[in-house]
Structure 1
Amino acid sequence: MQWLLILFLALDLSSIKTDPNLERRSDRALDNANSALDAARDAYTAGDAAKTQAELDEVGESVDLAYQSLVETGKDARRSSKFKHAELKTRELMRRLDGLRQTFNFDDRGLVDKVRDRVAQVHDDLLKRIMSKKKR
């Protein structure tokens, strides 16, 4: 039941961008990234290279939107649980991308590597914000 709710709420990235609550927008964008990753896996299994590329691009865009939304809140990352939640979700996404990479042919792994590098950069930025003191 919860999975259906997540799919209903995260239909596409454009509807997520219109959410006025920045923290909820971040959560929904990360859920959308997970859904897009599943869709990319299915598209690759079906042999649809264009859809695979589009879904992997959506994973990267969703992660970027989630990070940007959290930054726009203006909250201190050390004191906001949403930053830690996003860090955990991006770490999970990186593990899932590593697993997806193993299922791809050697020639196609560059598609996943590009997205994984993007997710890893956002993950590192989240960690830096969480672990560093805010300069006053």
Structure 2
Amino acid sequence: MTVHTRSRRITIQERCIMMKMWETGPQTVATKKQIASCLQCSLQTVYSILKHLEVTGKLEASHADNSVRKFDQAEIFALVNVANANRFESRRVIAEKYYALRGISMSLTTVSRLLAKFSFLSYYVANSQELKEFTFDW
């Protein structure tokens, strides 16, 4: 993860968590606090990003294909743990490890495609408290 004085780039595993939160809709404050803690950012940041995702609604295409199923929360955190083992590994390697560890019922190609989609999201959090910039690049 690249850390800057005023902002830091959100990593691919953090995007996965945000994507999952957007998919599932309303969650308890406790769950959001847990995810905010995992992302090392404030609860307000989580709400800001979620609100932006809800307003733009530009991620619906990610699950237009019926062969793509949604990750459950346990899988998201498993992916985070695998990805955190070595942040410099390629998405393909991360996907392979994730697939092997979880034995999930989807193809490696599907996992890789999902991870590739997440990697196109680019947003920054200034001082880990507020939404600085959020762009989509499809």
| Pair member with larger Rg | 1
TM bin, normalised by shorter chain, reads under 0.3
Q: Which has the higher contact order (CA 8 A, sep 6+)?
A: 2
Normalising by the residue count of structure 1, what TM-score does the alignment of the two structures yield?
0.25
